[in-house]
Amino acid sequence: MHLHRNDIQNMIKTRFAPSPTGYLHVGGLRTALYSYLFARKNQGKLVLRIEDTDQERFVEGAMENLIRTLDIMGIDYDEGVYLEKSVVSDQWSVIEKGDFGSYIQSKRSGIYKRYAEELLSKGYAYRCFCTKERLEKMREDQNARKLPPMYDRKCAYLSEDEIEAEVKKGSSYVIRLKIPQESIIAFDDAIRGHVEFRGYLIDDQVLMKSDGLPTYHLANVVDDHLMQITHVIRGEEWLPSTPKHVALYDAFGWEKPIFAHLPLLLNPDKTKLSKRQGDVAVEDYLAKGYIKEALLNFIALLGWNPGTEREIFNLKELTEQFDLSRIQKAGAIFDHAKLDWMNGKYLREMPIEELAREVFGILKKEDWFHLDINDEYFVEVLKLAKDRMTKFSDAIALMKFFLVENFDYDTKLFINEKMKVDLEISKTALAKSLIALEALNTEDFKNEEKTKEVLIKVVANLGLKNGQVLWPIRVALTNESFSPGVFELLRVMGKERSLERMKMAFKLLTTLPTLLN
């Protein structure tokens, strides 16, 4: 399908237009990312516009949070709303840059009113004086008759005299779009191809509310035209609204932008992605220790593919590869396991110093973490843990036992029926291993081959199997049933820390018979 645009300009221009009603949803991030990639791929521009016409849903601070999150994720833009830090304080303020402002819809009400009046004068819109009570009764009747909820056009047929009389009375009214009932409204979607809607199935959308503020539908069309947007990339949920927008473009005599409706994001059970089934806010994923580059890479592949088996891309590579024609129509599954895999891949390729800074930032918030751990030990512990990490926050569980000073041992862990280890064997294994390991000097203790040689002799002398000796040592060092191997643990923890823990565990085991009696 060949899509073209002749009248507005040669430069491609996209926009991301979120509502400041809370956090940035991962679906919103995908829309912003695709709009960014398409603009950059085609040497175009990206606009950030804030659509805050629904003041009832406005959340204080949400606009600033959206801007910060886009900045953190590396999605820059060319016009719109920005944050600027004061030169004399730590305060941040919202500023606007560009030739088509304001980029905040609540500051453009006069513009929308003017265009609504134009539609009225041309007969493409009408005043609706129906009360809230009448509309509710109408919907109840429609529901009872299993009809789609649509305005019944009562006010579409009022005479000029009737309209004038209502206005003179001071009756409250909204302005509705007058959809041509016999028409077929059609457009070409860059992802879904040719789309048609029957006019009689489209509701006469409210364009201006009784408080004088526009609805999304009027504001978005007017702004996209005035800001010279050439491509509207947005979620599939807006597809049913598109014929209303097309009708508005036709009514104004404006050229339509090219629409591209992205597939829904779905949970693994094919339901629409929602907070009820897990995190949906970008900031939640960042707070849990996901790497922004990995999250962006993962989000990019939710509905788009490069046509190859390759899955790892940085932002520059995504820009080079991106093409609207490779976006699927079917819903995209948000697979958390795939995100964990991808994040782990990014994490393991990070320079260890950078990884240490990220992990330290998370661990220092934990009560059990003591800041007197030296850098060298911290990095060695991290090297051991990182291969088992998928995100920064995994370090809490994987590194905890390396960093705490004292354990409240779970004595049941010293019993392992599968390995045929009971409390008596654990106690004996620890006692003999302590004697053997004490004989090693500090340097040899850090040599895994040396500690292995020593402990294998203990196994032989006791007539036990490897696991019967190594299991109680593992528990003594970590108070965990899953951990890195014993010889790795001994090397990283070093002689003093390792022997101290083994002695602590042995002392506990020697008191157990008394406690049990």
Active site amino acids: 275
* Pairing of β 174-177 and β 92-97: unpaired
* Sequence-ordered list of residues with C-beta below 8 angstroms from that of 238, at least 6 positions apart, any chain: 261
User: Nearest-5° angle of CA 84, CA 85, CA 91?
Assistant: 120
Report how far residue 97's alpha carbon sits from residue 67's, in angstroms, rounded to the nearest whole number.
14
Place of tokens 């922004």: 292
What would you measure as the largest C-alpha separation in the chain, in angstroms? 109
H/E stretch holding 174? strand 174-177
Structure token pair of residue 170: 């001071």
Count of other CB atoms within 10 angstroms of residue 103: 24
Cβ burial, residue 514 (10 Å; 0-12/13-18/19+): exposed
User: 182-200 burial string, b = 16+ CB within 10 Å, else e?
Assistant: eeebebebbbbeebebeee
Given a contact cutoff of 8 angstroms between Cβ atoms, the answer to whether 383 and 473 are in contact is no
Strands of 8-159 (E only): list them: 13-16, 45-48, 79-85, 92-97, 125-128
| Closest listed residue to residue 103, CA positions, set 111, 115, 114 | 111
Cα–Cα dist 173/170, whole Å: 9
The pair of three-digit structure tokens given for residue 344, joined into one six-digit string: 């782990």
Nearest to 512 by CA among 409, 401, 404, 405: 409
Q: Is 397 helix (H, G, I), strand (E, B) or coil?
A: helix
